[in-house]
Amino acid sequence: MSSSLTHKPAWQALMQHAAELRSSHLAELFAADAGRFDSLHRTFGPLLFDFSKQRLDARTLPLLFDLAAEQGLAEHMSELFSGAAVNPSEGRAAMHWALRLPAEHGCVLAGEDINAQVQAQLQRMDDIVQKVRSGQWRGATGEAITDVVNIGVGGSDLGPLMVTEALTDSRPANDSPLRVHFASTMDGSQVSQLLGGLNPHATLFIISSKSFSTIDTLSNAATARGWLERELGELPGLLACHFIGVSAAAERMMEWGIAPANQLALWEWVGGRFSLWSAIGLPIALSIGMAGFRELLAGAHAMDEHFRQTPWADNLPVLLGLIGIWNTNMLGINAHAVLPYDGRLKELPNYLEQLEMESNGKSVNLAGDTVDYATCPIVWGTIGPNAQHAFYQLLHQGTEPVTCDFIVPARRYREAQHSLAVAELRAQHELALANCLAQSRLLALGDAAVEDADTLPRNRRYRGNQPSSTLLLDELTPYSLGALIALYEHKVFVQSVIWEINPFDQWGVEMGKRIAVDALACIRGDIKRLPGADASTAGLLARIMAGSA
Amino acid sequence: MQVDVYGDTLCALVSATALASTGNQVQLHLPAGPHAEQLQRGECPFREAGLADLMAEQLQGGRLMLAPLAAPPQPSAVIWLALNPDSMPEALSLIAALPERCTRRWLVVNQSTFAVGSSELLQQTLLDCDTPPVNPGAVVSLPDLLIEGNALQSFMRADSWLLGADADWARQLVTELLRPFNRRRDAIMPMRPREAEFTKLAITGMLATRLSYMNDMANLADSLDVDIEQVRQGMGADRRIGDAYLYPGCGFGGLSFSRDVMSLASTLEGSGLAAQLLDEVLNINERQKEVLFRKLWRHYGTDLRGRKVALWGVAFKPETSRINNAPALKLLEALWAQGVEVHVHDPRALDTLARWAGERDDLVLHQDPYAAVAGADALMLVTEWKAYWSPDLPRLRELMAAPLLLDGRNVWDPAFMKQNGFTYYGIGRR
């Protein structure tokens, strides 16, 4: 990182290549090369990654690999996988990959047997999952638990929520009637809704917070605890029967009153947004069973190995990451939509928003300098077919260039529980598949995908040339989802290496929490005036206080 | 007539014996198992007034013969099924294997408690022929309405017969077989097979509903400081209600009350219908099976690890060795999951329990009820075998580590137990 990134030869070569390609429309690229799909897609395990609808050609990839080599991607990867402190601002390693090592793999770092610790926690999760799912985890009055509420926010919410919803069809047949809920918002909207409908005798709470000091989570937990104490009275064993804690801060769990047997550990070397593979994933395991959870880990581990060992030209995370660099930095596209064509993946865009934007939404590089190039684009999305009725108008005819990831399983509704309605449901899936293919085609080709387009008035025509990738899963299973999530984790890492930033810290989310402390004191009347308040804040506060008087 | 009865249930033995006693030539086909072995030794596996004697008489007289399940039936072509509720597959293969199935006119009388619609399924199997039979046989439904404890009499002098038959000749033939038992007045109520089956389901369901209702009342009584025994007697005295099936307890079991049987069979599927109340009744019952566990859990402040608990009775009811759906099974699982060592006594069901549980450290079986309670932190009475009604209390107190009684059948008197130094929990008792 001696010279500025944008002045490096590989960067310059890419910029020049982009200037040459910029005038080529995707429709022309497809017309010119019948073998475009063959050369511009890759497969790994249950995933097919088609990037032939990206605005690049055969010459682009080698240039991107040159840049990756110049940025030391290989060295950074081996640092990541050796447990080095790749998060220097917090002096930590980032070893989410260690959470999915097979049990028999050794992983000893600085004298500590990391994998032994990981496997021990997995075994403890297994015990809990077994007990709850068999109906033998008891509330304070001896009732079997029927409902579990995960209280957490950020990484302790988005990952577990996303995977739990994505894998509803992977719940074992003849399943226990266990229901898993999630409460995250600090304003109590979800807990208040949930508590109204739950039976306090049969509800188990998981308080999930890496630091066990997140105010959002602790305030929801306090509400839950108050509810139980009011409803059941101060019974012996109330906390031990109704609360599980997942945290790296054992002492704080202790202070809160989590029974030692109910404390699940994670480690400082796991980032929150990379933690669904740890005990933070307990709600997932409760929902799909521990065998399914281990399949999820196995899928992610397979992707880890693929990332470490496969040459870049066939390496999905490397390609996904570098194509993102190409779009952001060479083509200047700063918006990226995530579009799953499968309703079970509804929470995936939210999850990826955090993974990508909290990791790479930064403008100071590792050397401490402000960067002079774009980093993480704005990432957003929702279920594709629903987005067709919402923001696709902008994608097709707006003024902003946007890149898209289409994510869809090829096969669906093969599980036994759908047997009765299977014909109708498969027909619905075919409809979704067809729409997925049609939309990415129209976005790429524009009018070229439409017959007699030139006879239409201008407001009915399609510009096209919006680049997209399609990730086709054979089927959405714990294994394929594990591989898919790990693919994005490593994509984020690849991009951070190119951009020379630390993807594992998040200093941008700290200060707001602190400033809120004074505002809260003011709202609660502990202080009369907010020190140094700007006119807007003071004005809003005045109005709020006037209402409460 | 010649009749071939299939099954080793109480119903099978009663029907076979009663039919033999009126002059029929009866072959009783027994599935391999403990009942078959007992019968081969000349023992009667059920304690029912008059049954053992009458049966021995018929065997001796040669009108009743024992045979294995697979033995060929006699030529007169009357098949009488009184199998266990979980034996529908066996019933189907039995019928499929009948000799000259498509050419002889078979009469199949089904007394087994199968799901509604089963007789129709059996008939489909009977008539599943390459060419439609000229003289098609028939399956009729004659639900088992025996009253246990008075089983033989309730057959020989039945209050009512639900005879579900579609074909006139079949109805006529069954009526003829029942003629000796149908003399005081005509107690045969003719209906269609699925109506007979449904009536049986409705009867079982009503009995189950009464029990679950009483259990629900007992649980309320527990928290309202009311003695359910007073309530039960008061309710039973009302002639509109009567006093049968009003005893609260720690849940009912047995195959007849299982979800498989108390559901509407495949013939009724696709109607989108489900019995809402019945479903809830069975749910309440599943919860009730853990009621003694909950009382123990709360008594010891949720701390059960390493404790020792004695169970008296695991059979789903007294006088049987069967444990199907027995409350004791759910209790055992709940106790084991909390790290409790369970010591069990049962006069008859220990072998069945051992087969169900397999070898495990936290289960100890005892031939002597007092050996089971030695060092126990609690004694749970789960099945009301008569031998448990008046235990040697000083001996119990001395043997137990803690004098804690959990009476799942309300057979003991709370006040007397307390006077004798026990902590007593019943079902809704105070």
Confidence of residue B273 (pLDDT cuts 50, 70, 90): low
Q: Chain A contacts of B298, Cβ < 8 Å?
A: 141-142, 235
Together in a domain, B273 and B147:
no
| Measured distance CA(A300)–CA(A484) in Å, rounded | 7
Kindly give, in sequence order, each residue whose CB lies less than 8 Å from that of residue A85, ignoring residues fewer than 6 positions away.
A91, A92, A93
Interface test with A, best of B222, B286, B289, B297 (most A CBs within 10 A): B297
Answer positive or negative: Cα dihedral of A249, A484, A159, A182.
negative
- The CA R_g of chain B, rounded to the nearest whole Å, is 24
Is residue A138 less than 8 Å (CB to CB) from chain B? Answer: yes
Together in a domain, B153 and B218:
no
| pLDDT of res. A36 | 97
Among the candidates B164, B191, B218, a domain finishes at: B191
| pLDDT of res. B259 | 72
CB contact under 8 A, A236 and B302: yes
Is residue A311 less than 8 Å (CB to CB) from chain B? Answer: no
Mention the CATH class of domain A98-287: alpha beta
| pLDDT of res. B268 | 52
User: How far, in Å, are A285, A329, A380, A411, A471 from residue A160 at the CA level?
Assistant: 9, 32, 19, 24, 22
Q: Measure CB to CB from residue A241 to each of B302, B333, B337 and give the nearest one.
A: B302
| Measured distance CA(B168)–CA(B140) in Å, rounded | 11
Among the candidates B191, B213, B248, a domain finishes at: B191
| Measured distance CA(A163)–CA(A177) in Å, rounded | 19
A1, pLDDT greater than 50 = no
Element (H, E) at B68: strand B64-68
Strand, coil or helix: A524: coil
Chain B residues whose C-beta sits inside 8 Å of any chain A C-beta = 290, 293-298, 301-303, 333-334, 337-338
Core vs surface per residue A221-239: b (16+ CB within 10 A) or e: bebbbebbeeebeebebbb
| Measured distance CA(A156)–CA(A220) in Å, rounded | 13
Kindly give, in sequence order, each residue whose CB lies less than 8 Å from that of residue B317, ignoring residues fewer than 6 positions away.
B253, B254, B383
Using an 8 Å Cβ cutoff, are A315 and A2 in contact?
no
Strand, coil or helix: B120: helix
Confidence of residue B271 (pLDDT cuts 50, 70, 90): low
What is the mean predicted confidence (pLDDT) over B30-56?
92
| Measured distance CA(A496)–CA(A544) in Å, rounded | 42
**Same fold: A5-70+310-504 with A98-287:** yes
Annotated binding-site members of B: 113, 148, 200, 245-249, 253, 317
Using an 8 Å Cβ cutoff, are A236 and A139 in contact?
no
pLDDT above 90 covers what percent of chain A? 89
Residue type present at position B356:
W
The CATH homologous superfamily of the domain defined by A5-70+310-504:
Glucose-6-phosphate isomerase like protein; domain 1 (3.40.50.10490)
Together in a domain, B201 and B269:
yes
Q: Tell me, what DSSP letter sits at residue A370?
A: B
| pLDDT of res. A530 | 87
Q: What is the mean pLDDT of chain B?
A: 93
| Measured distance CA(A258)–CA(A250) in Å, rounded | 9
User: How far, in Å, are A349, A407, A465, B380 from residue A391 at the CA level?
Assistant: 14, 17, 17, 65
A549, pLDDT greater than 60 = no
Together in a domain, B346 and B364:
yes
Would you tell me how many other CB atoms lie within 10 Å of the CB of residue B47? 13
Annotated binding-site members of B for substrate: 200, 245-249, 253, 317
Is residue A140 less than 8 Å (CB to CB) from chain B? Answer: yes
| pLDDT of res. A415 | 80
CATH number at B423 reads: 3.40.50.720
Which structure tokens are listed for A368? 């401490």
CB contact under 8 A, A141 and B297: yes
pLDDT tens-digit map of B310-322: 999 999 999 888 8
Together in a domain, B63 and B39:
yes
Query: Could you tell me how many CB contacts below 8 A there are between chain A and chain B?
Result: 35
Strand partners, A389: none
CA dihedral A194, A199, A200, A204 (to 10 degrees): -70
**Residue ranges per structural domain of chain A:** 5-70+310-504, 98-287, 510-548
The set of catalytic residues of A is: 358, 389, 513
What is the mean predicted confidence (pLDDT) over B219-243?
95
Instruction: Determine the distance in angstroms separating the CA of B312 from the nearest CA of chain A, rounded to an integer.
Output: 21
A272, pLDDT greater than 90 = yes
Most distant pair of Cα atoms in chain B: their distance: 76
Instruction: Quickly list DSSP for B13-31.
Output: HHHHHHHHHTT-EEEEEE-
| Measured distance CA(B53)–CA(B36) in Å, rounded | 17
Together in a domain, B166 and B239:
no
Most distant pair of Cα atoms in chain A: their distance: 78
Instruction: Determine the distance in angstroms separating the CA of A418 from the nearest CA of chain B, rounded to an integer.
Output: 15
Together in a domain, B235 and B384:
yes
CB contact under 8 A, A138 and B295: no
Q: Measure CB to CB from residue B297 to each of A131, A134, A142 and give the nearest one.
A: A142
B266, pLDDT greater than 60 = no
Interface test with A, best of B293, B294, B305, B425 (most A CBs within 10 A): B294
B11, pLDDT greater than 60 = yes
A279, pLDDT greater than 60 = yes
Confidence of residue B272 (pLDDT cuts 50, 70, 90): low
Q: What is the mean pLDDT of chain A?
A: 95
| pLDDT of res. A350 | 97
Together in a domain, B86 and B203:
no
| Measured distance CA(A191)–CA(A213) in Å, rounded | 18
Is residue A151 less than 8 Å (CB to CB) from chain B? Answer: no
Is residue A230 less than 8 Å (CB to CB) from chain B? Answer: no
Among the candidates B191, B218, B234, a domain finishes at: B191
| Measured distance CA(A457)–CA(A442) in Å, rounded | 17
Using an 8 Å Cβ cutoff, are B388 and B412 in contact?
no
Together in a domain, B174 and B206:
no
pTM of the model: 0.90
User: How far, in Å, are A2, A86, A267, A326, B280 from residue B283 at the CA level?
Assistant: 71, 54, 42, 60, 5
What is the mean predicted confidence (pLDDT) over B276-286?
88
Is residue A141 less than 8 Å (CB to CB) from chain B? Answer: yes
CB contact under 8 A, B290 and A131: no
Q: Chain B contacts of A136, Cβ < 8 Å?
A: 333-334, 337-338
List strands edge to edge, sheet with B25-30.
B64-68, B25-30, B2-6, B78-81, B107-110, B138-141, B161-164, B188-191
| Measured distance CA(A129)–CA(A138) in Å, rounded | 13
What's the residue count for chain B? 430
Q: Chain A contacts of B297, Cβ < 8 Å?
A: 138, 141-142
Q: Where are the beta strands (DSSP E) in A295-426?
A: 335-340, 378-381, 403-411
Together in a domain, B271 and B332:
yes
Is residue A239 less than 8 Å (CB to CB) from chain B? Answer: no
What is the mean predicted confidence (pLDDT) over A258-282?
96
| Cα atoms in the Cβ-side hemisphere of radius 13 Å centred on B47 | 7
| Measured distance CA(B159)–CA(B145) in Å, rounded | 9
Q: Measure CB to CB from residue A136 to each of B296, B302, B337 and give the nearest one.
A: B337
Which structural domain, as residue segments, surrounds residue B123?
2-191
A421, pLDDT greater than 90 = no
Residue type present at position A438:
A
Helices of type H across B142-245: 151-156, 168-178, 193-224, 228-237
A429, pLDDT greater than 90 = yes
| pLDDT of res. A173 | 75
A2, pLDDT greater than 50 = no
ipTM: 0.85
Instruction: Provide the pairing of β-strand B107-110 with B78-81.
Output: parallel
| Cα atoms in the Cβ-side hemisphere of radius 13 Å centred on A164 | 23
Together in a domain, B400 and B417:
yes
pLDDT tens-digit map of A487-545: 999 999 999 999 999 999 999 998 888 889 889 999 998 998 888 889 999 999 999 98
Provide the domain count of chain B. Answer: 2
